[in-house]
Amino acid sequence: MTDDIRTKKLFNAPEDIITHAIEGMISAHPDLLCVQGATGRAVVAKDGPRDGKVGIIIGGGSGHEPAFAGYVGRGLADAAAVGNVFASPAPEQIMDAARAADGGAGVLFLYGNYTGDVMNFDMAAEDCERLGIPARSVQVTDDVASAPKGREGERRGIAGDFFVFKIAGAAAEHGRDLTGCVAAARHANDNCRSMGVALSACSMPQTGKLNFEIGHDEMEIGMGVHGEPGMRRGKLATADEVTDELMAAMLADMPLGAGDRVAVLVNGLGATGPLELYILHRRVAQILGERGVAIHRSWVGEYCTSLEMAGASITLLKLDEDLQLLLDTPCRTPALTVAGALEPKGTLTRRDHSAAAAGTAVNRAALKTDGTVTPDVFRAMMLAAADAIHANRDWLSELDGVIGDGDHGVTMDIGWTAVRKILSTEQDGTISELSDAMGKAFLDAVGASSGPLYASAFRKAGEAVADRLNLNADGMVAWIEGLCAGIQARGGAQVGDKTMIDAWVPAVAKAREALHSGGSVSDCLAAACQGGISGRDYTATIESRRGRSAKLGARSLGHVDPGAASAVVLLTALRDTVQS
């Protein structure tokens, strides 16, 4: 069982992993890279951004090295926003990258098609527009295992990032405008297919536990780069048999024939060495040769990993004249160099990215003061919630490891640790002001999908009680209802999708019932817990329809959604604090 296995990694402290890795990367490549921005998470090309050039910004969670920061450099990406392990960067981290790469011609965001990345980059794009920076986005959707033909927009982005990033960076290097760079990136994505196989599990540094179980003689075909289960699990096959299955799926989705040209990437997932990868490429070349398909270029090695997972993926990029031109355009980054002459470094004019601060002073004299939940009590409730999430961190991550990427507990703990910190400095705020501060702290610390969802939740909850200093039962229920409304507004999930909404909606309904029956704050919170528990348990009986686990279908049955489980942890902590 995975509970009995503890993995070993070389790091100093879990909270310093990303900071220390970035410091090491900069110290290894001081001629290529630097860090810009207050978050410390924007890795920027020293010889990249310049006036009149579209800024190419890539990003995603850590644990996939050399993706993403390894592709920052001249002729490729101008900057990368670096998220926590397996978690999207937060909007402010993305904005640091956007401000650094802004040459006055707009910015293009490129990232894998995952819920958290989409939400965080969308929020950053909204911020860019407010600052007068034109921003566009292209999501990479190369993984044929994650959705059938005809539903390409639902597919995950895996190692195909490598080709899409390269093409977009070259388009910008050639001086194409924002529309032209978007078109090039989309054209590359439309002609890119990937599929992978996993032989062993990976583990989160913070937990030291394997994300999932797989037998010593088993393999998972179609697994995602975060450890998400794939299309099927079966007995370990030979290298040629595995390659045949991966190639068959890709060629059925994107037929290739005599006269076609492709670029090939055989990518290791972290613990599979060149010896095995070259054996896979051998068979890829045989299959393509039998079809009369020419290989223009090949890359074999680790380009998009999954921590220490054993396994590999194969990516094909079908080339035409323009894609070949862009693929062959010189670039120089830590992880990829295409030889050739680069133009002399251009100049970059630093632009004023400041925006007028919004906000109006609160007139406390006009706020309603009835209710037992004062700002101090509210602060105690939130601190108890932070403690509860920390205590349940590993359990929540284990739940997520079964149907997701295994980081939910870690991510929530990071977010609530940031909330704890902000509550120690915000000593005089109203409940509405504290909620806003908590939302910003959570979002800046986390990213992922939880960041935008809970940031929107806290903001909406704060708005719902903006007329109150203290919360009575009605105010407490309004605050919880605001949480639920904020999550739904940002994420779009509905009851039955197997998400945290399946716990929050019945929690609100039960709390409303208790309120209408004359219940106290304590009664309403107790009822909310009952509703949340029923919703959490309900998620084990349904298939997932949203997020990373949506690819699992019937394989998600029998497993509780980790977001719904964490909702119950939070509600229970709030209830217990009030009752005590």
Dump the DSSP string for 335-350.
S-EE-S--PPP---PP
Q: How many angstroms separate the CA atoms of 378 and 419, rounded? A: 13
**370 DSSP 8-state letter:** -
Candidates 76, 106, 57; CA nearest to 326 is: 76
Candidates 33, 105, 110, 101; CA nearest to 72 is: 33
Adjacent-strand bridge partners of 74: 332
- At residue 307, what is the residue type? L
Cα end-to-end distance, the chain, whole Å:
38
Residue with tokens 């900057």: 79
Task: Give the per-residue pLDDT at 359.
Answer: 54
Strand-strand pairing, 55-62 and 79-85: parallel
Residue numbers of the chain with a pLDDT score lower than 50: 1-2, 357
What does the mean pLDDT of the chain come to? 93
Token representation of residue 122: 């969308």
Candidates 405, 78, 396; CA nearest to 225 is: 405
Q: How many angstroms separate the CA atoms of 220 and 286, rounded? A: 24
Please give the distance of CA 417 from its chain centroid, rounded to a whole number. Answer: 19
Please give the distance of CA 445 from its chain centroid, rounded to a whole number. Answer: 13
Task: Give the per-residue pLDDT at 159.
Answer: 97
Helix axes 408-425, 393-403, angle to 10 degrees: 140
Q: How many angstroms separate the CA atoms of 267 and 110, rounded? A: 20
Q: How many angstroms separate the CA atoms of 94 and 172, rounded? A: 19
For the chain, what is the total number of helices (H) and then of strands (E)?
Answer: 17, 14
Helix axes 274-290, 239-253, angle to 10 degrees: 50
Task: Give the per-residue pLDDT at 427.
Answer: 76
Residue 179 burial (CB count, 10 A): 13
The answer to whether the CB of 167 falls within 8 A of the CB of 354 is no
Alpha helices per DSSP H over 374-472: 375-391, 393-403, 408-425, 431-446, 450-464
Catalytic residue list contains 29: no
Of these residues, 226, 281, 408, 559, which one is catalytic?
Answer: 226
Q: How many angstroms separate the CA atoms of 130 and 127, rounded? A: 5
pLDDT tens digits, residue range 332-361?
999 999 999 888 878 888 887 876 545 567
- Virtual torsion, Cα 376, 378, 384, 390, nearest 10 deg: -120
Token representation of residue 178: 């924002």
Q: How many angstroms separate the CA atoms of 505 and 511, rounded? A: 10
Question: Backbone phi, then psi, for 93, in 5-degree steps?
Answer: -65, -40
**102 DSSP 8-state letter:** -
The answer to whether the CB of 504 falls within 8 A of the CB of 532 is yes
Q: What would the DSSP string read from start to end of 272-337?
A: --HHHHHHHHHHHHHHHHHTT-EEEEEEEE-SS--TTB-EEEEEEEEE-HHHHHHHTS-EE-SS-E
Q: How many angstroms separate the CA atoms of 169 and 80, rounded? A: 12
3-state secondary structure of 539: helix
Q: Which CATH entry fits the domain spanning 366-579: 3.40.50.10260, 3.40.47.10, 1.20.272.10, 1.25.40.340?
A: 1.25.40.340
**60 DSSP 8-state letter:** E
Burial class (CB in 10 A: 0-12, 13-18, 19+), 495: middle
Residue 515 burial (CB count, 10 A): 20
- At residue 243, what is the residue type? T
Q: Where do the structural domains in the chain lie, given as residue ranges?
A: 366-579
Burial class (CB in 10 A: 0-12, 13-18, 19+), 120: buried
The answer to whether the CB of 534 falls within 8 A of the CB of 391 is no
Sign, Cα dihedral of 378, 379, 384, 390: positive
Based on C-alpha coordinates, what's the Rg of the chain? 24
3-state secondary structure of 59: strand
Strand-strand pairing, 135-140 and 107-112: parallel
Task: Give the per-residue pLDDT at 487.
Answer: 95
Residue 336 burial (CB count, 10 A): 19
